[in-house]
Amino acid sequence: MKITLISPNDPCWDFGTRILSAILKKEGYEVRLLFIPFPAGQRAINKKDLKQIIFLSENSDLIGLSVKTNYFSGIRVITEALKNSLDTPIIWGGTHPTIRPKECLNYADMVCIGEGEITLVNLLKNMEKGLDYKNILGLGYKNDNEVVINKPNLLIDNLDSLPIPDYMCENDYLLENGGFKKIDKNLLEKDLTRFTHTSKKKYKTYHTITSRGCSFSCAYCCNSYLNKINSGKKIRKKSVESIITEFEAAKDMLPFINCILINDDDFFFRSKDEISVFAKEYKERIGLPFWITGLIIPKYSNEKFSLLVGAGLKFIRLGIQSGSLQTRKMYRRYYSNEQILKVARDINTFKHKIAAPSYDIILDNPWESDSDLTETIMLISNLPKPYNIETYSLTFYPGTGLYDKAKELGIIKDDIEQVYNRSYYAISPTYLNRLIQTLDIFSRKGLFIPPMFMSILTKPILKKLKITYFLTHILEIIIFGLYYTDRFIYYSRHFSEFITAINRKKMSCLWKLD
């Protein structure tokens, strides 16, 4: 049987699709992968591209599409085009169908709820044998006009049982400007260079994830929903040996890689002993610089961090989210500013060995007051230098506590426009948001604004004096002069988000309470 899997992600970081492909190939199925990287919240896909997608999906026995909320609209357009031209059954899987299966069944014939490995193989086996597949766990489908959602499948407890993600480039295609290109190792090599956390060196990064789930349940994150449907089973991890074996295989498959990026939600969940074994094995058997993008403040340990730096850790990203205790409580992130500063100071002691750490901040929270934002600004300006700040515009993903709250209060009236099609990069250009972005721009340039100066800039009196208008424009010039030039390469990749961000400048605030 032949299966086409369509991913709206970049070829270098769709772990779900890569692992499904490996599983299906192991079971003897023929797999074709189509990567159609969508900029978040945008749906630009033209007729020529759609024709090629149809052409490349022809003669498949099943077409599977991976759907995150931000890609719902684009995937819907592709699905409708496929349905208009082919009779092939279509299944959607991923976070969005897991959370909103009924909605997805308006477009797809079937949906996969939760992890796809077992469900997809069971489905294909039954289809192959002509057996009824309607009782398969984790499957949702339409029975005439009735929607049937089966119970979710059991989670894969032993992640070591999974095969190495499929990077064989046997039958993979990437949609770029000008149409689909067959992915070979050369194209993949270029692609792996695109996403680096430092512009100074062109890292060819192998992206991966060594665990599934998170021990936290933040109010804006889908893990809060997944933790519920997975009956409290929060986190599963690969053994150290299995991780190192994967990295060795990655080096064999992709001999050009010179860096590894671990995308786990919560890597520091591992015990000190485990991290110590990992560090030793990694240094001896892999020896490449590596990055970790999931460190949660309460899980920080200087001993673990030191072991990882010794093994080659070069970059770390942490979520602070807000400097306001009240906002963090709302997010269910329970730690104090003192804890954040302590972790930041500890990390700073490694500054000669690692790149500047990156701190995530969430903006555009409709329940945050100016004084909450001021606390964030003051916290950032007190962080030990150097650092980078990544700002995101709060997006209310379905299934999360904050989505429910925003819906109840009438903040979200139109899910498609206000959630699905919304770019999480489009920060509203308010004065205080600008100040935060300015701190980031300055820090990226190695310049740091003293807290005293920020404390003056955030004084409410400045607003009353109407000086904010003037300051905003000065900051705008700085932003365009430093920020956008500095991030030109990044934004050329996310061009439509950049345009959205500029357009948003015309709006005063994205989320307004009625």
Q: In the complex, which residues of this chain contact ligand B12 (CB under 6 A)?
A: 9-10, 13-16, 19-20, 40, 64-66, 68-70, 91, 93-96, 112, 115-117, 120, 209, 212, 221-223, 226, 263, 265, 392, 397, 424
Q: CA-to-CA distance for 443 and 358, rounded, in angstroms?
A: 11
Q: Is 164 in the site for ligand SF4 (CB under 6 A)?
A: no
By beta-carbon proximity to ligand B12, the closer residue of 40 and 377 is: 40
Residue 482: DSSP 8-state: I
Q: Which stretch binds ligand SF4 (CB under 6 A): 51-59, 180-188, 216-224, 494-502?
A: 216-224
Burial class of residue 304 in the structure, from the number of CB atoms within 10 Å of its CB (0-12 exposed, 13-18 middle, 19+ buried): buried
Q: Which of 19, 108, 218, 275 binds ligand SF4 (CB under 6 A)?
A: 218
Q: Is 53 in the site for ligand SF4 (CB under 6 A)?
A: no
Q: CA-to-CA distance for 95 and 70, rounded, in angstroms?
A: 10
Contacted entry of ligand SF4, ligand B12, none for residue 112, CB cut-off 5 to 8 Å set by kind: ligand B12
Q: Which of 217, 382, 388, 418 binds ligand SF4 (CB under 6 A)?
A: 217
The CB-of-396 to ligand SF4 minimum distance in angstroms stands at 14
By beta-carbon proximity to ligand B12, the closer residue of 216 and 442 is: 216
Give start and end residues of each alpha helix (H) in 93-167.
95-99, 101-104, 117-129
The CB-of-319 to ligand SF4 minimum distance in angstroms stands at 6
Contacted entry of ligand B12, ligand SF4, none for residue 327, CB cut-off 5 to 8 Å set by kind: none
- DSSP-based three-state secondary structure for 348: helix
> Considering only residues 237-296, where is the footprint of ligand SF4 by CB under 6 A?
265, 296
Quickly list DSSP for 405-437. HHHHTTS-S-HIIIIIT--TT-----HHHHHHH
The tokens describing 312, both together, are 């080659």
Residue 260: DSSP 8-state: E
By beta-carbon proximity to ligand B12, the closer residue of 74 and 93 is: 93
Contacted entry of ligand B12, ligand SF4, none for residue 397, CB cut-off 5 to 8 Å set by kind: ligand B12
Q: CA-to-CA distance for 260 and 357, rounded, in angstroms?
A: 16
| Residue number with the smallest Cβ distance to ligand B12 | 93
Q: Is 361 in the site for ligand SF4 (CB under 6 A)?
A: no
Contacted entry of ligand SF4, ligand B12, none for residue 496, CB cut-off 5 to 8 Å set by kind: none
- 137: how many CB neighbours lie within 10 A of its CB? 14
Number of residues that bind ligand SF4 (CB under 6 A): 9
Cβ atoms of 85 and 64 within 8 Å: the answer is: no
Cβ atoms of 391 and 440 within 8 Å: the answer is: yes
By beta-carbon proximity to ligand B12, the closer residue of 117 and 440 is: 117
Cβ atoms of 283 and 276 within 8 Å: the answer is: no
By beta-carbon proximity to ligand B12, the closer residue of 397 and 431 is: 397
The tokens describing 74, both together, are 């684009």
Q: Binding string to ligand SF4 for residues 307 to 346, with x set by CB under 6 A, is what?
A: ------------x---------------------------
Q: Binding string to ligand SF4 for residues 392 to 431, with x set by CB under 6 A, is what?
A: ----------------------------------------
Residue 165: DSSP 8-state: P
User: Which DSSP helix (H) or strand (E) runs through 488?
Assistant: helix 488-493
Q: Is 214 in the site for ligand SF4 (CB under 6 A)?
A: yes
Contacted entry of ligand B12, ligand SF4, none for residue 217, CB cut-off 5 to 8 Å set by kind: ligand SF4
Q: Which stretch binds ligand SF4 (CB under 6 A): 82-90, 157-165, 209-217, 322-330?
A: 209-217
Q: Is 209 in the site for ligand SF4 (CB under 6 A)?
A: no
Contacted entry of ligand B12, ligand SF4, none for residue 111, CB cut-off 5 to 8 Å set by kind: none
By beta-carbon proximity to ligand SF4, the closer residue of 35 and 220 is: 220
Q: Return the closest-CA partner of residue 494 out of 185, 109, 41.
A: 41
Phi, psi for residue 40 in degrees, rounded to 5? -55, 135
Contacted entry of ligand B12, ligand SF4, none for residue 140, CB cut-off 5 to 8 Å set by kind: none
Please, which contacts does 158-164 make with residues 24 or more away whose CB atoms are closer than 8 Å?
159/211, 159/212, 159/236, 159/237, 159/238, 159/242, 160/238, 160/239, 160/241, 160/242, 162/19, 162/22, 162/23, 162/117, 163/19, 163/22, 163/23, 163/26, 164/22, 164/245, 164/246, 164/249, 164/250, 164/253
Contacted entry of ligand SF4, ligand B12, none for residue 424, CB cut-off 5 to 8 Å set by kind: ligand B12
Residue 483: DSSP 8-state: I
Q: CA-to-CA distance for 323 and 344, rounded, in angstroms?
A: 13
Q: Is 221 in the site for ligand SF4 (CB under 6 A)?
A: yes
User: Which DSSP helix (H) or strand (E) runs through 14?
Assistant: none
Strands (E), 364-486: 388-393
Which residues contribute to the site for ligand SF4 (CB under 6 A)?
A: 214, 216-218, 221, 223, 265, 296, 319
